[in-house]
């Protein structure tokens, strides 16, 4: 094993305390290698776990100016899981309507309103006057065209000072924000004195197999306890909080009320157990990447052609580990996503799936390099359907 194949996990301590709860015991849980196309280098980012509140942060942090620019033109269409999620938010909020005191006169704001689905659904239910905040111009345009929505602002700063809300919904936004605590404090200031806030985030720590890429899209990971901590610090009391696994992508969700109200005591989530499971998960993850990297390196040194499919984060980690040891003649990167074709990772071009037909010979292997079982299964299905002769060459680690 080369020196580069050593990955540090669970060792170093971070000098500064936890961003969220100020506790001092931050533990390093992951070294992530982010590939920068621009200068063809891998940059190292470190993930730290707070063993007091369970908040996970990344160092160094992404530049906020860059993110602002990125989200102002972000135009991805709503995917099916987003619609499914929105319907579940509706169901949940209707269940709490009397607790929150929602009626036709209520004022509701959806921060990160996307294509406007939730605003539309809430308006249709007659649950009040609904507003939205959405930084992406293409998404605001689509909200207008599809639903005729007009109460849309580009940023929190644009929301008029004289409007205070009875309910604020913020789903799948906070994990994209560089300074989530200040952001939630700002959200809290938009509520009236009896107002409520619904927050939903991806459930990475307990339900997903892996951390997100915390460099670029999801900049922090919350536990239930750290979410409580953040809301408390923003002048709110959590009245209900849970990991919800009834969706195709599990989520963490809480409902909080402004001020100090009678509510169940703080989350009973055991942060130390969470930490242990994260460390164990990372250990397994790197075992998988190391095994795959060693297989590809070994094949390359023996002149055996190997396909690596797909070309996501896990393949990047694999290529970080193999460094410059691979012979380009013997490795083919493949991805079904056409927008990635012709792009390169560490000197390897990403190819369309069909290219495996001419690349593979009798000896070849196809390494499926993804930590997500759904991704693995759909690639295996594609190979079986499209290239049945090559299906016996599949290797899954």
Q: Which residues bind Zn ion (CB under 5 A)?
A: 18, 20-21, 23, 50, 52-53, 55
Minimum Å gap between C-beta 57 and Zn ion is: 9
Nearer to Zn ion, 50 or 383 (CB): 50
HEC per residue, the chain: CCHHHCCCCCCCECCCCCCCCCCCCEEEEEEEEEEECCCCEEEEEEEEEECCCCCEEEECCCCHHHHHHHHHCCCCCCCHHHHHHHHHHHHHHHHCHHHHCCCCCCEEEEECCCCCHHHHHHHHCCCCEEEEECCCHHHHHHHHHHHCCCCEECCHHHCCCCCCEEEEEEECCHHHCCCHHHHHHHHHHCEEEEEEEEEEEECHHHHCCCCCCCCCCCCCECCHHHHHHHHHHCCEEEEEEEEECCCCCCEEEEEEEECCCCCCCCCCCCHHHHHHHHHHHHHHHHHHHHHHHHHHHHHHHHCCCEEEECCCHHHHHHHHHHHHHCCHHHEEEECCCHHHCCCEECCEEEECHHHHHHHCCCCCEEEECCCCHHHHHHHHHHHHHHCHHHHHHEEEC
Nearer to Zn ion, 19 or 35 (CB): 19
Nearer to Zn ion, 53 or 111 (CB): 53
Nearer to Zn ion, 18 or 293 (CB): 18
Nearer to Zn ion, 176 or 228 (CB): 228
Nearer to Zn ion, 46 or 391 (CB): 46
Minimum Å gap between C-beta 146 and Zn ion is: 41
Minimum Å gap between C-beta 229 and Zn ion is: 7
Minimum Å gap between C-beta 221 and Zn ion is: 12
Nearer to Zn ion, 236 or 346 (CB): 236
Minimum Å gap between C-beta 121 and Zn ion is: 35
Minimum Å gap between C-beta 22 and Zn ion is: 7
Minimum Å gap between C-beta 26 and Zn ion is: 8
């Amino acid at each position: 094993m080369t020196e580069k194949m050593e990955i540090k996990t669970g060792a170093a301590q971070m000098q500064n305390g936890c961003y969220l709860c100020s506790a001092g015991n931050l533990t390093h849980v992951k070294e992530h290698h982010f590939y920068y196309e621009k200068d063809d280098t891998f940059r190292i980012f470190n993930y730290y776990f707070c063993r007091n509140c369970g908040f996970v942060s990344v160092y160094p942090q992404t530049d906020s100016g860059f993110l602002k620019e990125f989200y102002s033109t972000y135009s991805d269409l709503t995917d099916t899981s987003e619609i499914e999620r929105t319907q579940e938010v509706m169901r949940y909020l209707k269940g709490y309507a009397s607790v929150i005191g929602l009626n036709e006169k209520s004022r509701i704001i959806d921060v990160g309103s996307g294509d406007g689905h939730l605003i539309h659904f809430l308006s249709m239910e007659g649950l009040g006057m609904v507003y939205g905040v959405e930084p992406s111009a293409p998404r605001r345009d689509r909200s207008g065209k599809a639903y005729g929505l007009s109460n849309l602002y580009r940023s929190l700063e644009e929301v008029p000072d004289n409007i205070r809300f009875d309910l604020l919904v913020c789903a799948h936004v906070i994990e994209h924000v560089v300074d989530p605590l200040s952001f939630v404090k700002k959200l809290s200031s938009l509520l009236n004195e009896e107002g409520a806030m619904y927050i939903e985030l991806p459930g990475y720590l307990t339900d997903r197999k892996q951390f997100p890429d915390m460099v670029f899209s999801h900049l922090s990971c919350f536990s239930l306890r750290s979410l409580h901590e953040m809301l408390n610090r923003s002048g709110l009391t959590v009245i209900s909080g849970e990991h919800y696994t009834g969706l195709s992508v599990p989520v963490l969700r809480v409902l909080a009320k402004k001020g100090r109200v009678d509510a169940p005591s703080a989350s009973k989530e055991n942060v130390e157990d969470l930490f242990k499971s994260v460390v164990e998960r990372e250990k397994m993850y790197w075992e998988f990447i190391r095994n795959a990297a060693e297989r590809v390196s070994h094949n390359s040194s023996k002149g055996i052609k190997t396909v690596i499919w797909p070309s996501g984060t896990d393949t990047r980690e694999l290529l970080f580990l193999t460094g410059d040891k691979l012979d380009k003649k013997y490795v083919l990167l493949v991805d079904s996503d056409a927008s990635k074709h012709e792009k390169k990772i560490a000197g390897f071009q990403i190819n369309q799936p069909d290219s495996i037909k001419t690349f593979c010979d009798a000896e070849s292997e196809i390494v499926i390099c993804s930590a997500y079982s759904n991704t693995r299964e759909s690639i295996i299905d594609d190979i079986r359907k499209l290239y049945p002769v090559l299906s016996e060459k599949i290797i899954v680690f």
